[in-house]
Chain A
Amino acid sequence: MSAALAANHQAELAAVLDEGERRAWRRALVLIISAIVVGTAFVYGGVLDTQRYADALPTILTLLGDSLPPDFSRWQSWGVPLLDTLTMSTVGTVLGALLALPLGALAARGVGPASIRTPVLMLLNTLRSIPGLVWGILFVAAVGFGPLPGILALACHSTGMLGKFCAEILEHVDPAPGAALRSQGVSAIGVLRFSVWPQILPRLLDVTLYRWEHNVRAATTLGVIGAGGLGLELVTAFHLFEYREALALILVVLALVTIINLAGAKLRARLLGTFNT
């Protein structure tokens, strides 16, 4: 840039630089305030109170000692609970994802009008701020024991979560390929199918698979309130001070989560690898 040009724009240049500085300061301030708030929470939560930790390690070690070696002797009676947990998590995830797609679309900026967007966003917020356990208690009361209340509880919470993700993913869709399709006479449905869908599919799949794994763990917890599954076994074992059996059950859940993860990765590679080509 020539000196003459720079001289002409002194004031403008200064304004741009000043604005940059103002923004940097504002960011720093936000950072400092956040650090203070989080620090206070550390103190309030007792995380830094060393005395509380004095007995912790020995107790944990004792408990660990009591639960070794894991006791798998009752494995025959775990089949049905295992199946229940798997059913709850899988069906709950799929149901949640199916509901999340249309709701997420309605909640996305730039898709529907604000008069629809706002209530749908509120619905999604409500669905996910009510804890899964509360949904579980509600549905056990409503439809009775077994996997069904677990499925419905997981589906509710998953819809809230996946719907929000889905809306955000849709907001990040690049509109240019869609415009290119419209400019060659492709209908709105065609734009959804050929531009939006391939753009959102990988991320939707990612969050859904992550949610599936989450739901396996959540389904275990739901056993506690009568939705069946491995959770009930686990809590019973604890109540009976059968720590060795409890550890065995925890290992089973761990194995299940690992298998789900591997299956999810395979599924993802399959679906994305063959998509559209």
Chain B
Amino acid sequence: MIHIDHVSVQRGAHEVLHDISADIPSGGITAVVGPSGVGKTTLLATLNGLLRPSSGAITIDGVGMLDSGETLRGFRRQTATVFQEHALIDRLPAMDNVLLGLADQRHPLSPLPWSRPMRLRAAQALDEVGLLHRATARTSQLSGGERQRVGVARALVRQPRLLLGDEPFASVDPALIRQLGNTLRDMVARSGATVILVMHQMETALSLADKVIALAEGRIAFDGTPRQFDRCCQETVFKTIPRGALS
């Protein structure tokens, strides 16, 4: 279980997240929703230690994430992140960007090429996002949606215990979203992985997730099941926010 304990996060001069507390159960999909600019990306960056809370702490299965460099490294090795801006290396082939998902599993100074088992895993991950036929294409020559799927493949190839996705389906076709949703469901069922997805398609979020956390004005506005959210809170919590503005 991931325990977010009174966490506040600064971004530049101002505080983006104010005193947030939440529990994210292991082995399930949690959706994080909220209006643009509310701090969803900031929350994910804090969950993998790229940003540090100005106060509060995050514990994973009872161990403080930032207790030491070693614990952080340990958590990160089990984590995969899909970044909102993809964070790919444009000039490399799509396949090589997926292989970077395995970079922590080989020696950084080894002059050897990626091993065949690793390349097989990367190819399978590309296949899962429907991009095997683009494996050797330069990433800069892919469309926005395709680049996003490369980012998803780079996360999937890690077979992570914790997957953080920052709007991973933002420009993916509905049919593929359903397929990728099933892939994630399978992953959770098979390996008990924990998945945290920032999403802007509310319908997808509500149908895919076991738990919904809604942020508003840097605080948690809702924390519960999709059904509870659907019944009570879409109107009450978000009555000030036009539905289209949720992203």
Report A's interface with B, CB cutoff 8 A. 174, 176-177, 179-187, 189-190, 192-195, 198-199, 202, 276-277
Contacts and interface: CB of A to CB of B under 8 A. Distances in A.
Nearest to A194: B103
16 contacts: A179-B87, A180-B81, A181-B100, A183-B76, A183-B81, A184-B79, A184-B80, A185-B75, A186-B103, A190-B108, A192-B108, A194-B103, A195-B100, A198-B92, A199-B91, A277-B114
Main secondary structure of the interface of A (DSSP, over half): helix
Contacts, number: 79
A184 B81 contact: yes
A198 B79 contact: no
Given A184-B158, A195-B89, A276-B114, 20 more contacts: A174-B90, A176-B85, A177-B87, A177-B89, A177-B100, A179-B50, A183-B48, A183-B50, A183-B81, A184-B76, A184-B80, A184-B104, A185-B74, A190-B103, A190-B104, A190-B108, A192-B108, A198-B96, A276-B92, A277-B96
Interface string B182-219: 00000000000000000000000000000000000000
A62 B207 CA distance: 88
Contacts of A174: 89-90
Size class of B's contact patch?
A: 35 or more
B17 interface: no
Contact of B103 (A179, A181, A202): A181
A187 B108 contact: yes
Given A181-B103, A182-B50, A190-B103, A277 B108 contact: no
Point out which of B48, B76, B87, B99 has the most chain A C-beta atoms below 10 A from its C-beta.
Answer: B87
A277 B93 contact: yes
Given A182-B76, A184-B76, A184-B77, A198 B50 contact: no
Contacts of A199: 89, 91
Given A182-B50, A183-B76, A184-B76, A189 B108 contact: yes
